[in-house]
Amino acid sequence: MKKTRFTEAQIMGVLRQMEGGVSAAELCSEHGMSSATLYEWRAKYGGMDASLISEMKAMAEENRRLKRMYADVSMQNDLLKEALEKK
């Protein structure tokens, strides 16, 4: 997965500038990003502070890890059922 080149604090700073009245085009050219990225951040992180963003990312990582664990256990379960059916 591609990592962002902006930290949570930087994202929050850009969103605060946008809320402060700076135009989207000006922010995009200043920070070297697309307007789509800016509006995605606003939709995803609007109303959050930096601690909530880092907590959300940690929960997403844990969720990804748990999904992988479930897939492994499910595959082992299927293999065991298949082996029992053959006997």
Question: According to the model, what pLDDT value does residue 19 have?
Answer: 87
Q: With 70 as the cut, is the pLDDT of residue 11 above it? A: yes
Question: According to the model, what pLDDT value does residue 68 have?
Answer: 97
Predicted TM-score of the model (pTM): 0.59
Asked whether the beta carbons of 15 and 45 are under 8 A apart, the reply is: yes
Q: Averaged over 46-72, what is the pLDDT?
A: 90
Q: With 90 as the cut, is the pLDDT of residue 81 above it? A: yes
Asked whether the beta carbons of 6 and 32 are under 8 A apart, the reply is: no
Q: With 80 as the cut, is the pLDDT of residue 4 above it? A: no
Residue 41, Cβ neighbours under 10 Å: how many? 19
Question: According to the model, what pLDDT value does residue 8 have?
Answer: 81
